Amino acid sequence: MPARNRQLALAYSIRDPAGKGVAEVLLDLVGGEKAECPHATECYRLSNGVILGGFDADTPFMEMLSSTPDPGAEAVIVLSRHSSASGTKTLTVHHTGNPTTTTFGGRPKELAIAFPQLSRALLAAYKTAAKDAGILGEYDLKLEATHHGPTTVNRPVVFIEIGSGPEEWRDPRARLAMAKAVLSVIASGPARDCTPAVGYGGGHYPAKFTRMHLESEYCFGHILAKYVFREGLDPDVVRQSVMKNHPDPPKVAIVEKKSLKSLERKTLEGILGELGLDVVYV
């Protein structure tokens, strides 16, 4: 087998039908051999050198990803299911963190490390793979705002997901699309042609930011949705949304103007001004 690819590692939960199913597709597509990962229940080294680890913990609770599945990798892509009450067929990419005191994994008011260029590459590759699989349009392709754990990992974590219910999690077309998207990004690396930005406002599925992420010069790290502001904006969370980015903090903040109240915008502008960011309203 070739030398290990040190840029990325892959993780999934053995309890998650989407993540585990995609892991099986990856092994079918490129092959691999059993390996050892700290804390993992199952672990493989793919033929491209990437380490793929399956864990007993559910994905939002994978705080161990600082040291596994490949301690030397630059970033970890988590293969995961997506759940929503609407049941909408969805393909999503997002960064992790708990912007408020509401938590699902991780710590309250703590964000993980974002990687805008990796997120951009994943969503673009997911779009291409979904089109090739014949499911683009049947499934909505979206960025999600920053939410849930893990939050304490000391390197970037990006989730790529299939939603929103058991039928979709087991859809072989969606599994194949995710697997091919991930393999494409492993081969090409993070996007090189975008300007990292942090996003504020919009809904949990921020349509404007999704379009910009795919089509504009900007690629997004953390996105704090409008509901974060309604629950009371913590200045430290805003600072984290800027500073916790890899490889460097973004210099641009994109704000969906209509979704934020005037006082919310002024408060945000003050914090961002202290951090030296340019603010662009959309």
Q: Does domain 8-188 have CATH number 3.40.630.50?
A: yes
Residue pLDDT, tens place only, 203-212 = 999 999 999 9
> Tell me, what's the pLDDT at 1?
39
Sign of the alpha-carbon dihedral angle for 58, 59, 64, 68: positive
Task: Give CA–CA dist 160/23, Å, rounded.
Answer: 12
Q: How many CB atoms lie within 10 A of CB 231?
A: 11
β-sheet bridge partners, residue 198: 253
Task: Give CA–CA dist 197/194, Å, rounded.
Answer: 9
The CATH label, of 3.40.50.1700, 3.40.50.10700, 1.20.1260.10, 3.40.50.300, for the domain at 195-281 is: 3.40.50.10700
> Tell me, what's the pLDDT at 9?
98
Place of tokens 């997506």: 82
Structural domain boundaries of the chain?
Answer: 8-188, 195-281
> Tell me, what's the pLDDT at 11?
98
CA angle 130, 181, 127 (to 5 degrees): 35
> Tell me, what's the pLDDT at 3?
47
> Tell me, what's the pLDDT at 215?
97
Give the pair of three-digit tokens for residue 43: 């672990």
Backbone angles phi, psi at 219, to 5 degrees: -130, 140
> Tell me, what's the pLDDT at 5?
55
pLDDT 10s digit of each residue in the chain, 282 long?
A: 344 456 999 999 999 999 999 999 999 999 999 999 999 999 999 999 999 999 999 999 999 999 999 999 999 999 999 998 888 999 999 999 999 999 999 999 999 999 999 999 999 999 999 999 999 999 999 999 999 999 999 999 999 999 999 999 999 999 999 999 999 999 999 999 999 999 999 999 999 999 999 999 999 999 999 999 998 889 999 999 999 999 999 999 999 999 999 999 999 999 999 999 999 999
Task: Give CA–CA dist 86/149, Å, rounded.
Answer: 22
Where does the chain show beta strands of DSSP type E? 8-13, 32-34, 42-46, 51-55, 75-83, 90-95, 97-98, 110-111, 140-143, 157-164, 195-200, 218-224, 252-255, 278-281
Q: Helix, strand or coil for residue 240?
A: helix
